[in-house]
């Protein structure tokens, strides 16, 4: 198993293929590259350059998405993190799934994806199920970097699977982020219910 230090350069900046040692420069590059890749996927109906069609039926598509977004920057793009991870927001500490339980988390998410495929396309049912599923994947938090961006693309794919598209206004974007930070399936459901549009 890796240690946190294995992901970092001596000054604390993430190791990267560009050998950038400044956090701000790295974050800017990461944003630009991942935004370009996301735009490519949206313009190409979520088909990866190798021809793979993202469908949202397989949990391992998260790895494919993360690799596509960040492979130009990090050697470990598309690989599950090998260190435990926590976040702190307003004094509240969230512990994401420990690495030792990744097998259980992956199995549970795949089970939820299997159930989702069988759902009707009723908007309330889809929004409620996605609220729970997206919150579960957020708590899984399987990657060292890019979890949020990977999840947003996967969500768009899941929405498309049911014949909808996701359109978030600026205020809904803020509500989506608040639901993610709070790890609240109820809040996430409310956001998605108002943001699902017929495709």
This prediction has a pTM of 0.95
The larger pLDDT score, comparing residue 138 to residue 90, is at 138
pLDDT at 85: 86
Nearest to 16 by CA among 109, 107, 146: 146
Per the structure, how many domains does the chain have? 1
DSSP 3-state of 26: helix
Digit-coded pLDDT (tens) for 23-78? 999 999 999 999 999 999 999 999 999 999 999 999 999 999 999 999 999 999 99
Look up the domain containing 192 and give its range. Answer: 4-198
Domain CATH for 120: 1.10.3290.10
Confidence of residue 180 (pLDDT cuts 50, 70, 90): very high
Instruction: Report the percent of the chain where pLDDT is more than 70.
Output: 99
pLDDT at 1: 54
DSSP 3-state of 94: strand
């Amino acid at each position: 198993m890796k240690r946190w230090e294995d992901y970092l350069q001596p000054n604390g900046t993430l190791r990267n293929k560009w050998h950038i040692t400044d956090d701000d420069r790295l974050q800017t590059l990461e944003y630009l590259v991942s935004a370009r890749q996301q735009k490519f996927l949206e313009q190409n109906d979520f088909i990866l350059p190798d021809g793979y069609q993202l469908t949202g039926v397989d949990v391992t598509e998260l790895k494919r998405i993360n690799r596509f977004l960040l492979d130009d920057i990090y050697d470990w793009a598309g690989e599950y993190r090998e260190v435990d991870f926590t976040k702190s927001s307003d004094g509240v500490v969230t512990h994401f799934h420990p690495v030792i339980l990744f097998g259980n988390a992956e199995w549970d998410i795949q089970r939820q994806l299997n159930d989702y495929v069988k759902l009707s396309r009723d908007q309330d049912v889809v929004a409620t199920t996605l609220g729970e599923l997206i919150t579960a994947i957020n708590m899984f938090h399987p990657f060292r970097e890019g979890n949020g961006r990977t999840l947003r693309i996967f969500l768009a794919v899941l929405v498309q699977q049911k014949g909808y598209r996701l359109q978030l206004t600026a205020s809904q974007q803020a509500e989506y982020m608040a639901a993610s930070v709070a790890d609240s399936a109820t809040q996430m459901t409310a956001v998605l219910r108002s943001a699902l549009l017929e495709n």
